[in-house]
Amino acid sequence: MSFIRGITEDAKKQAMVRSIVEFANSCGMSTCLEGVETEELQNYLRIYKATWFQGYYYSRPIEIRKFREMVQAFGGKRNQKKFSCG
């Protein structure tokens, strides 16, 4: 089930996402809302105060080699451990 698809028009999905994110935040946990496909949706989802967003709006799936290249480009070796994927 996707909680994000159609969330702007679905009060039940809005309540579910709000509850999950608020619970996680109150427990000191991080959250990631997946399925962000447009800037408009990203801007709407900011009201839920999730830690991160993920989806095609940011990047289509990529090979690990390309991912490592991106990490190097945005932070070099100092961030390498944070993004280790096998």
- State mean pLDDT over 38-65: 93
Quote the pTM value.
Answer: 0.70
Query: Are the C-beta atoms of 44 and 36 separated by less than 8 Å?
Result: no
Residue 3 phi/psi, 5° resolution? Answer: -80, -20
Q: Tell me the average pLDDT of the chain.
A: 87
pLDDT at 75: 77
- d(C-alpha 61, C-alpha 74), whole Å: 18
- d(C-alpha 60, C-alpha 66), whole Å: 12
- State mean pLDDT over 55-66: 92
Structure-model confidence comparison of residues 49 and 79, the more confident one: 49
